[in-house]
Amino acid sequence: MKNKHKVTVGLITGLLAAAVVAGPASANIVLYQHINYGGTAWDFGTGYKQSLGDADKRASSLKVSKPANSTILYSGLSYGGTASQEFFIGAPDLRQWNFNDRARSLK
Ligand SMILES: [Ca+2]
């Protein structure tokens, strides 16, 4: 049992090392049409999108994959609007952040 645990830790460490070596290119910010990561998924890569195309004002949940540190959603195009919110891991329900079907750009 102890050895099995060590192997698991080693594998995870290896995966983390691989992710770090890959750098920001492997970081993905994914918005979802519905809450709890349902419906259409829109992958925005490492972010910095002045407009969200098909996802415009439709996203209801999101995920931020490591090694991305975070993403910021904006209620306006080109990082504008009256509201913005930073997310570090993601959010299963953007209603909790008053951001349901509201995001129009992201960093
Ligand atoms: Ca939605």
Q: Specify the higher pLDDT residue, 59 or 13.
A: 59
The total of structural domains in the chain comes to 1
Residue 5: pLDDT band with limits 50, 70, 90 = low
| Assigned domain for 38 exists | yes
Query: Does 24 have pLDDT greater than 70?
Result: no
CA of residue 52 to ligand 1 center, whole Å: 13
92 token code pair = 């299963």
Instruction: Supply the range of the domain harboring residue 68.
Output: 26-106
What are the C-alpha distances in Å from 89 to residues 10, 14, 51?
Answer: 23, 21, 21
Distance 104 CA to ligand 1 centre (A): 12
| Residue 72 lies inside a defined structural domain of this protein | yes
Local confidence band at 3 (pLDDT 50, 70, 90 cut-offs): low
Average of per-residue pLDDT across 75-92: 96
Beta-carbon contacts of residue 68 (< 8 Å; ≥ 6 apart):
24, 27, 28, 29, 46, 47
Provide the pLDDT confidence category of residue 29 given band limits of 50, 70 and 90: very high
CATH of the domain at 86: 2.60.20.10
Which pLDDT band holds residue 66 (cuts at 50, 70, 90)? confident
**Alpha helices, DSSP H, located in 1-107:** 2-22
Query: CA 46 → CA 30, 41, 50, 51, 67, distances in Å?
Result: 9, 15, 13, 14, 10
Whether residue 13 is contained in a domain is answered as no
Quick check: 14 pLDDT over 60? no
Is 21 domain-assigned? no
- Asked whether residue 17 is assigned to any structural domain, the reply reads no
**pLDDT for the residue numbered 91:** 96
56 within a domain of the structure (yes/no) = yes
What is the whole-number distance in angstroms between the Cα of residue 100 and the centre of ligand 1?
6
Residue 8 included in any domain: no
- Identify the band that residue 18 occupies on the pLDDT scale cut at 50, 70 and 90: very low
In a domain, 3, yes or no: no
Centre of ligand 1 to C-alpha 66, Å, is 24
Q: Which two tokens stand for residue 67?
A: 């090694």
